[in-house]
Amino acid sequence: MLLIVVAAPIAIPLLIFWLIIYSISYGIARARLDSWLNRCLAEYRESNLAAQKPQHDHESPLHATVQQPRPTRILDPGIFRVIDCVGCHQKLRVPAFAGRVKVRCPSCNMKWEIET
């Protein structure tokens, strides 16, 4: 019984000290977590706004951006071939009979070469 009476005056201030230390460290960790989440949300919103920007008629998802490595002659510019994107399976329209062309998907920015 004497031990409890002697230890009680020391234990209470020690408990209060550790509660203060815990609450300060919790507040710092929570503030860092909030700032990290805000940075992630801002980056996510930026990427979504960039992806949702209005497209012009000539940049619709059915039209692929075609980059030709060397000058080739397209036999009939009105003839197209519909292919699936390798990354997101979006349907893309590429010129037919153009030879080997580089294709970039406007939805996922995947790039690859194709023989038409």
Domain locations in the chain as residue ranges = 1-53, 57-115
Query: 25-56 pLDDT, tens per residue?
Result: 999 999 999 999 999 888 888 877 766 655 55
Where do we find the tokens 């510019």?
77
Query: 101-110 pLDDT, tens per residue?
Result: 889 999 898 9
Residue 65 reports pLDDT greater than 80: no
Closest CA to 109 of 50, 57, 54: 50
pLDDT at 73: 52
pLDDT at 66: 60
Where do we find the tokens 């003839």?
79
pLDDT at 67: 60
Q: Say if pTM beats, i.e. exceeds, 0.75.
A: no
pLDDT band at 61 (very low <50, low <70, confident <90, very high): low
